[in-house]
Amino acid sequence: MPLQTLESDKDNYWWKKAVFYQIYPRSFQDSNFDGVGDLKGIISRLDYLNDGTTNSLGVDAIWFSPFFKSPEFDYGYDIVDYCDIDPRYGTLADFDRLLEEAHRRNIMVVLDLVVNHTSYLHPWFLESRSSRDNAKRDWYVWKDGKGRKRKPPNNWRTHFFGSAWTWDEKTQQYYLHSFLKEQPDLNWYNPEVREAVGDVIHFWLGRGVDGFRLDVAHHYCKDRQFRNNPPFFIRDRGLDKTRLSDRTLMANIMKLLALPTMQYGKYNQHQPETHQVLKEFRHIFDSYQAKTSVGEILGDDAALVASYYGEKNDELHMNFYFELANCRWKAGAFRRCIERWERNLPENAWPAQTFSNHDLVRAISRYDHGGNGDKRARLLMLILLTLRGTPFIYYGEEIAMKEVKLAKNQLKDPVGVKWYPVHRGRDGCRTPMQWDDSNYAGFSNSAPWLPVGSELSRRSVAAQQNDPNSQFSLVRELIRLRKSLPALLEGSYSSVTEGVSADCFCYLRETDQQKIMVCVNFSFRRQNADPGSLNGESRIIFSTEPERELEIINFPLTLEPGEGCIIDLSMAK
């Protein structure tokens, strides 16, 4: 199975072996000191990511959040030119150099494909809204108002609160936007739209990029009849209680208050026709060598999310299951979530795993109850880098960067700006990368677009790079281990519950030749793990606790409070 695919075509399947690193370009490195990160800045930091030696982090691929031309109402997720770089970040020539420099270091480059919507200033939309009979009118979703009062066509709401319909005075119709009104949704039933986006994909793949992350791909096609979405509570009645308890308290409250959309997106998301679009994309990817795609498919229904791999594995190459980032800090919640995902994945489907990104509160802060964030961040990295599937690290996660608490007047994200304090927006996880403890954390020489975090003498690359007990050293070592252990790279996954306390999350990763067990103690108490079927000697090859001797052990294994271990069971019978 996975072994065969990996072995049979090493190059085509590089993405199964890779460790990905997400860069939010505005915040990684500023080279021209305007307070905003840029491509030249990123180039100057590539050695940090992978210089081919064990000094560097050792990641193999970067996913870049968008740096295309954009008025930045949603910070790059509203694009006016898909085939050019925004001048804030550089030029196409800078991009070509970035690509070349990345490839020289064996780092693959994956871009963000944001095509559920464009910017309202995109020439396509400007044409579309210019008159009802414009040739591009049908490239977007236009509808008449309802009744004499010309009310919005239906009850669909945006993810950023409020109606998903905005009235256009000039042409006297509504247009649809699933996010901001400055982000009109494209009409994916229009073949010309599909062709135009296909051209964009060809443009970048032809230039040498290695794949795409597909922004909100479950949103592309909408119900052809534009039926009203049902209110949230109708669906919640059917919700499985165990799943509800797996969510963080905040997620529960949001769900119960039915924020932010107050409705279940039955008719404006996850429409069957979207699968055809993804098949067409896949066809384009497959016409090149060794390209990949990873979907941002939001939803708690694992079977539905998994369906985006396609029945014949002919849609996404990889897909996230974001419920993993919604789990409460309970071993059982993590285990059940992974099992649910694994159970629902079609044969040969390759998962993508992540705990943090530019839309989520940084995991280290999400799980910081009682000041335990740092310890838990170590465990999260252990889990991320030992699960089956490709791990995605969010910039700064490797140095235990925390969510930064911002005051109202410091917010930039439109969600926070509009809804503070109900919602503080997403700026707290997008602050500048913390390179050192200088004024602006080594990110820039002038005031950055968002303030830098605190504790720079501890939470920075400079402070951690040469400290063997730092988060950086832990992540670097885990990346190295993952690459050296076939069971972690390509082995099967199975949970271990027998003889294991409910406070521990234990699992096996196995190939024919190698058997690795990962054991994570989620509690404040010492715990024993004694999986009865595993007799004989085993070797602890990694622990999140710096004091732990890496030794040959006999079960039961004793785990210190908040400790996680990797154990090589290949010696056990």
Nearer to ligand GLC, 114 or 475 (CB): 114
Residues in contact with ligand GLC, total (CB under 6 A)? 9
Q: Is 240 a catalytic residue?
A: no
Q: Does residue 384 touch ligand GLC according to CB under 6 A?
A: no
CB of 236 to ligand GLC, least distance (A): 22
Residues 332-371 vs ligand GLC: string with x where CB under 6 A? Answer: --------------------------xx------------
Q: Does residue 503 touch ligand GLC according to CB under 6 A?
A: no
The residue whose Cβ lies closest to ligand GLC is 77
Asked if 95 contacts 103 with a C-beta cutoff of 8 angstroms, the reply is no
> Which H or E run includes 304?
helix 302-306
Nearer to ligand GLC, 137 or 358 (CB): 358
Question: DSSP assignment of 462-484, as one string?
Answer: HHHTT-TTSHHHHHHHHHHHHHH
CB of 356 to ligand GLC, least distance (A): 12
Report how far residue 183's alpha carbon sits from residue 174's, in angstroms, rounded to the nearest whole number: 13
Q: Is 215 a catalytic residue?
A: yes
Report how far residue 284's alpha carbon sits from residue 201's, in angstroms, rounded to the nearest whole number: 8
Report how far residue 257's alpha carbon sits from residue 490's, in angstroms, rounded to the nearest whole number: 41
CB of 561 to ligand GLC, least distance (A): 35
Of 18-57, which residues contact ligand GLC (CB under 6 A)? none
CB of 359 to ligand GLC, least distance (A): 5
Nearer to ligand GLC, 84 or 359 (CB): 359
List the one residue out of 84, 78, 182 whose CA is nearest residue 129.
Answer: 182
Asked if 404 contacts 428 with a C-beta cutoff of 8 angstroms, the reply is yes
Q: 409: Cβ–Cβ under 8 A, 6 or more apart, which residues?
A: none
Residues 239-258 vs ligand GLC: string with x where CB under 6 A? Answer: --------------------
Nearer to ligand GLC, 88 or 426 (CB): 426
| Partner residues linked to 510 by β-bridges | 492, 515
CB of 346 to ligand GLC, least distance (A): 24
Residues 435-474 vs ligand GLC: string with x where CB under 6 A? Answer: ----------------------------------------
Question: DSSP assignment of 199-243, as one string?
Answer: HHHHHHHHHT--EEEETTGGGSS--TT-PPPPBHHHHHTT--HHH
Q: Does residue 215 touch ligand GLC according to CB under 6 A?
A: yes
CB of 310 to ligand GLC, least distance (A): 22
Of the candidates 77, 82, 124, 522, which one interacts with ligand GLC according to CB under 6 A?
Answer: 77
Residues 281-320 vs ligand GLC: string with x where CB under 6 A? Answer: ---------------x------------------------
Nearer to ligand GLC, 358 or 424 (CB): 358
Torsion angle of C-alpha atoms 134, 136, 140, 145, degrees rounded to 10? 10
User: Which position among 215, 300, 315, 398 bears the catalytic label?
Assistant: 215
CA distances from 526 to 333, 504, 558, 559 (A): 20, 10, 7, 6
User: Which position among 38, 296, 403, 568 bears the catalytic label?
Assistant: 296
Q: For the chain, what is the radius of gyration of the CA atoms?
A: 24
Strands 492-496 and 504-510: antiparallel
Nearer to ligand GLC, 425 or 442 (CB): 425
Asked if 176 contacts 269 with a C-beta cutoff of 8 angstroms, the reply is no
Nearer to ligand GLC, 60 or 185 (CB): 185
Of the candidates 74, 185, 368, 427, which one interacts with ligand GLC according to CB under 6 A?
Answer: 74
Residue 413, CA atoms < 13 Å, CB-side half-sphere: 23
Nearer to ligand GLC, 114 or 411 (CB): 114
For tokens 């029945």, the residue is: 311
Residues 163-182 vs ligand GLC: string with x where CB under 6 A? Answer: ----------------x---
Sign of CA dihedral 479, 481, 483, 486: negative
In the DSSP assignment, the letter for residue 144 is P
Which residues are catalytic, by number? Answer: 215, 296
Could you list the residues that contact ligand GLC (CB under 6 A)? Answer: 74, 77, 114, 179, 215-216, 296, 358-359
